[in-house]
Amino acid sequence: MRVLKVIETMANDLCSGAITISGAAYTNTQSTTKATSMGDPVPDCVTDFGNGVWYQFTPPAGGLMIVDTFGSDFDTGLAVYTGSCGSLTEAACNDDTDGVTSQITLRLRPA
């Protein structure tokens, strides 16, 4: 007898499945309960990094990008990377700006 184990995961659990953010303003609410850390780099500022999800953004113009987890009810960490999957460079990292939530403000150059 063979048993098939189905593991539920999320589309943006891996870098290759990153959700593309196409506008300057973006809001999303997402649980990471079913996310894994498989293949995720460990951010420099998050010592006990957990399950991550991925987003991709190409800035149409220069300016400031602000990313946060404000409103989260669990401990968060954020990292922003440049490059492509398999060849990422950490550009910014934050763990717990405001209690358990995180925020990154980063100056961007257009692509």
| Rounded distance between C-alpha atoms, residue 23 and residue 107, angstroms | 17
| Rounded distance between C-alpha atoms, residue 63 and residue 4, angstroms | 49
Task: Tell me the pLDDT tens digit for each residue of 74-91.
Answer: 888 999 999 999 999 999
Q: Which residue is it, tokens 């763990």? A: 95
Higher pLDDT, 50 or 66: 66
H-assigned helices in the chain: none
| Rounded distance between C-alpha atoms, residue 11 and residue 31, angstroms | 12
| Rounded distance between C-alpha atoms, residue 97 and residue 86, angstroms | 28
5 pLDDT tier (thresholds 50, 70, 90)? low
Calculate mean pLDDT across residues 48-72: 88
From the centroid of its chain, how far is CA 107? Answer: 17
pTM across the whole model: 0.84
